[in-house]
Chains A and B, each alone.
Chain A
């Protein structure tokens, strides 16, 4: 389905947040996720369904002040 991942529109074969991370090769990465602006805890990723047009943010710690 068509999703917006980290601001980029793309086609992804994934029904849940967990499947999206796996499809992006980030299944094992230490990242945090938010769907349409709301935090999705790691434990809830497998049960959080995606719908066409959803915006998924995947973040990691980076340089900061």
Chain B
């Protein structure tokens, strides 16, 4: 099971809290899946914030506030500071968005913000790409976990670049890695875990499913199965067939 900044988490599934049909379904999805971490945002208080706070604090999951929607270092740092005070955690899921269509990370601002927040004592979970040099810079900035995207946020496309994710796993064998964003189906979650990732973080795929509670459970099962498969050392694929039934001893029947 994943360990982030020294904290053991009981599940490889990390779940967002947005877009559910109702607060009750949100709570049921967490209960059914046993997700270990819940992400939340910070938004202008217009009534409802206090009830939501009670709801997420009762989920039994560690809370990971995000800087979603921030496009600059300054915005992200201020948001992180407010989140730390409000939620009493120095964990921050750092998003600095670079492109509004793809919601892709602005990796330059991301490294800058990660450096600043680490210096201020934050434990940064950066939403990044699978680029190895960006990963190196984030680690140098003080990050002890990396969260590359699988595909654009909310797209449900799965893992756009499994080879890049595999390379990241190989390059940083000791660093906890999470596929964050893009997962649409349990098979995507299993695939990420089979690559040796420590956890998956998803939201839309569960919240917008026809039955979010059943999908949350399926995602948790898939993530656990993928992890078990990774640890079981799967065979390498090959181009040509290799008979699994012994050839020797086959009756001669012509």
Identify the A interface with B (CB < 8 A).
6-7, 26, 29-34, 37-39, 41-42, 57-65
Contact = CB atoms under 8 A, between A and B. Distances in A.
Interface of B: 16-20, 39-46, 48-50, 52-53, 56, 63, 65-66, 68, 74-75, 78, 81-83, 85-87, 153-154, 181, 202-204
Nearest to A28: B50
19 contacts: A30-B49, A30-B86, A31-B86, A32-B85, A32-B86, A37-B75, A57-B44, A59-B45, A59-B86, A60-B42, A60-B50, A61-B49, A61-B56, A61-B86, A61-B87, A62-B41, A62-B49, A65-B16, A65-B153
Q: Main SS of the interface on chain B?
A: mixed
Nearest to A63: B18
A59 B52 contact: no
Contacts, number: 106
A41 B49 CA distance: 18
A26 B74 CA distance: 26
Nearest to B68: A64
B17 A32 contact: no
Contact of B78 (A34, A42, A58, A62): A34
Given A31-B49, A38-B78, A61-B87, 11 more contacts: A30-B53, A34-B78, A57-B44, A59-B45, A60-B52, A61-B56, A61-B65, A61-B83, A63-B41, A64-B65, A65-B203
